[in-house]
Chains A and B, each alone.
Chain A
């Protein structure tokens, strides 16, 4: 334990090895919502960074703060009546600009141009009353001083780019006339019309069939290669993560419990929650007559986050570290090696032993 806390203190706040490379940097982000029942701590001290051309996947259960994080980066928490009910602190740096303290106008100028978002449900994210083309034209003309005609040409070009057949015709279609996959493509076209440098995709394929999902993931990957944007992909599907991510950030109870390069996370995950996620997944590539290994219990309440390690009530190894530390001290992120960080009180030896001996053979 003593050894652990020393390393923890020495590292403290993780910073990227070369800060200038990071295009997006989030430092100690907190997003709290005061309610009648108490303060909902949706995001409670989250830090990460992302370079251009890279994809970061944020995984976790519903209510772990994934979507709240993405909305915070987009500056969408402060809009309208919602703005009065949110407390944000920390820093979000995007290409050298700080967003948490920026004025709504400044953020609005960046939104859509520097950073764009793809939502999970394209039917509710698009306006049912306006033609697809008009919605893309609007997104383009907000940031470019061009005529409607030029913008329309651009919209058709984008629809073509995302693989919509007969774009010149479909540009005048309404969202309800598109199938789910086509709608998602149209939304990607809308998000990319201004060549944003940061693309946030919040469960972009969850509502889609696997065949369409494969198409959309391919599309996101191709477009990223073409435009060199940074992509934050929020998902709960570890299959999608393995398919597309460079780095993975695992969230639990509003905090990061583990993050690292995708290979490391799948090969030697260091947090019991990550083990639980991997054990919960039925695999298509293996014969599995064994039972799944679920994470027991329910996700924590974000109003009364469990003391100490937020995962301790569900963690099968919570009693392993001595001195009740899991229930009293909140673990900080510690470097495992390289870019691999994990917030767990278990000693590195214990973690390696449990993973290689108990968990990995069962997956």
Chain B
């Protein structure tokens, strides 16, 4: 088994590099610049605005034709809002969305309508997104009715073809949603999204409500459909394993911002933003042998801060174990530090420090580093036994409390972090 894996590994990077290059040259289908969505908070009888939930707070990215962009982040990071804004189900409060070169940020409902054919959405909840009083036939044919499209051979025939395409039987035409299981309903949702041959499909947690076995069926189906119909996907999900499997590029969101945007392989093999690293280290791996390897684990303290009053500077500084003064005061810009990998961080992992002069850790960072696995902090943490390593892990934090010693120890910690990720 290990032999075959090794050969697989050796082959895959070569295969993967070819389509990557192609995607660089691919035409940009959707471009998002400085996108903002703030939800006002109103209080009092005059309903005066007293604040805003900054769900999406200035993000930039583009989606190229034929690729799959994965968007990950914890709940409340604004990924679903982002999906609804780029499909114009909600209006952005700032920024610009360009679809095929056309600015669609402020198009009216009527002007948006012809574009709805090209941009479709698959929703998370296969129970809530299908009208229980309509038959499958009427649900899947709704796009044709609304757009006034008469497909070749009639609507019914086309709907039945679509049902077959997504792996359902054409006889299901007259049935109701409650007669179907979760996985089948999600297929119905996919059939509806594909009815008008869209160019862009935004899928918000398309498989997270499904069982693993059914999830795999739907993931494979979406793969096949992309190949067959040349679709472009934006897949929003919180499951990093699923996103790794389906995506060409991945955007990691934290509190309304994109903190890292990179090719899937690069992101998963050498994440640069500490948050990305923490997020990935938290995913349980289905391999009991790796259970003991806690040294690579990064446990984040507490919850995501409120998007009503996000932290100053880098939003992640309250939970980051590398945070220094500059992180608290200056917001990092999303920069392409390596080809195909953009990251917004002053002290990125696996790369030269962007603010090397700033070495004094914040108090919060010292606390946070107690929960970071030794391998991440210490260079040669491959061997140490659990109890010994634990006391070692605390030393950089403790030493940092003495102002003079702090520089050396934190520099050492940061230097040692660089080679770990591989």
Q: How far is the CB of B93 from chain A (nearest CB, A)?
A: 25
Compute how far the CA of A50 lies from the CA of B15 in the bound complex, rounded to whole angstroms: 48
Q: How far is the CB of B281 from chain A (nearest CB, A)?
A: 8
Q: Mark A337-363, 1 if CB is under 8 A from B, else 0.
A: 000000000000000000010001100
CB of B238 closer than 8 Å to a CB of A: yes
- Is B268 in contact with A284, judged by CB distance below 8 angstroms? yes
> From DSSP, what is the main secondary structure of chain B's interface residues?
helix
- Is B279 in contact with A360, judged by CB distance below 8 angstroms? no
CB of B339 closer than 8 Å to a CB of A: no
Q: How far is the CB of B395 from chain A (nearest CB, A)?
A: 22
CB of A180 closer than 8 Å to a CB of B: yes
Q: How far is the CB of A289 from chain B (nearest CB, A)?
A: 6
User: Which residue on chain A has the smallest CB distance to residue B4?
Assistant: A361
- Is A283 in contact with B214, judged by CB distance below 8 angstroms? no
Instruction: Indicate whether A279 sits within 8 Å of B211 (C-beta atoms), given known contacts A181-B303, A287-B265, A298-B181.
Output: no
Compute how far the CA of A61 lies from the CA of B279 in the bound complex, rounded to whole angstroms: 26
Interface centre among B1, B16, B215 (most CB of A within 10 A): B1
- Is A284 in contact with B241, judged by CB distance below 8 angstroms? yes
CB of A321 closer than 8 Å to a CB of B: no
B220 partner residues in chain A, CB cutoff 8 A:
291-292, 294
- The number of chain A residues with a CB under 8 A from chain B is 52
Q: Which of B13, B265, B286 contacts A283 (CB 8 A)?
A: B286
Q: Mark A227-254, 1 if CB is under 8 A from B, else 0.
A: 0000000001111111101000000000
Q: Give the residues from 283 to 337 in chain B that come closer than 8 angstroms, CB to CB, to chain A.
A: 283-291, 297, 299-300, 302-303
CB of B46 closer than 8 Å to a CB of A: no
Instruction: Indicate whether A210 sits within 8 Å of B283 (C-beta atoms), given known contacts A279-B216, A284-B268.
Output: yes
- Is A211 in contact with B181, judged by CB distance below 8 angstroms? no
User: Which residue on chain B has the smallest CB distance to residue A215?
Assistant: B299
Q: How far is the CB of A60 from chain B (nearest CB, A)?
A: 9
- Is A281 in contact with B284, judged by CB distance below 8 angstroms? no
A283 partner residues in chain B, CB cutoff 8 A:
241, 244-245, 285-286
B241 partner residues in chain A, CB cutoff 8 A:
239, 281-284
- Is B282 in contact with A210, judged by CB distance below 8 angstroms? yes
Which 4 pairs from chain A and chain B are nearest by CB?
A239-B284, A294-B216, A282-B245, A280-B216
Q: How far is the CB of B297 from chain A (nearest CB, A)?
A: 7
- Is A211 in contact with B74, judged by CB distance below 8 angstroms? yes
- Is B212 in contact with A281, judged by CB distance below 8 angstroms? yes
CB of A2 closer than 8 Å to a CB of B: no
CB of B171 closer than 8 Å to a CB of A: no
- The number of chain B residues with a CB under 8 A from chain A is 53
A and B contact pairs by CB, cutoff 8 A, 23 listed: A61-B211, A61-B214, A165-B302, A209-B74, A209-B75, A211-B279, A211-B300, A214-B284, A239-B283, A242-B288, A263-B288, A263-B289, A266-B286, A266-B287, A280-B216, A283-B285, A284-B283, A287-B9, A292-B216, A294-B220, A296-B217, A298-B214, A361-B1
CB of A278 closer than 8 Å to a CB of B: yes
B219 partner residues in chain A, CB cutoff 8 A:
282, 292
CB of A303 closer than 8 Å to a CB of B: no
- Is B1 in contact with A238, judged by CB distance below 8 angstroms? no
Q: Mark A285-324, 1 if CB is under 8 A from B, else 0.
A: 1011101111110110000000000000000000000000
Compute how far the CA of A276 lies from the CA of B213 in the bound complex, rounded to whole angstroms: 7
CB of A46 closer than 8 Å to a CB of B: no
- Is B75 in contact with A266, judged by CB distance below 8 angstroms? no
CB of B399 closer than 8 Å to a CB of A: no
Instruction: Indicate whether A236 sits within 8 Å of B1 (C-beta atoms), given known contacts A211-B279, A242-B285, A298-B183.
Output: no
B389 partner residues in chain A, CB cutoff 8 A:
none
CB of B205 closer than 8 Å to a CB of A: no
Q: Give the residues from 199 to 253 in chain B that come closer than 8 angstroms, CB to CB, to chain A.
A: 211-217, 219-220, 223, 238-242, 244-246
Q: Which of B1, B239, B282, B285 contacts A211 (CB 8 A)?
A: B282
Q: Mark A207-218, 1 if CB is under 8 A from B, else 0.
A: 001111111011
- Is B282 in contact with A239, judged by CB distance below 8 angstroms? no
Compute how far the CA of A199 lies from the CA of B4 in the bound complex, rounded to whole angstroms: 41
- Is B280 in contact with A284, judged by CB distance below 8 angstroms? yes
B213 partner residues in chain A, CB cutoff 8 A:
61, 276-277, 280, 294-295
Q: Which of A62, A181, A242, A296 contacts B284 (CB 8 A)?
A: A242
Q: A212-B74, A280-B212, A284-B280 are in contact. List 12 more A-B contacts (CB 8 A).
A: A62-B211, A210-B284, A211-B74, A217-B284, A237-B284, A277-B212, A280-B215, A282-B242, A285-B290, A287-B268, A294-B220, A298-B183
Q: How far is the CB of A32 from chain B (nearest CB, A)?
A: 22
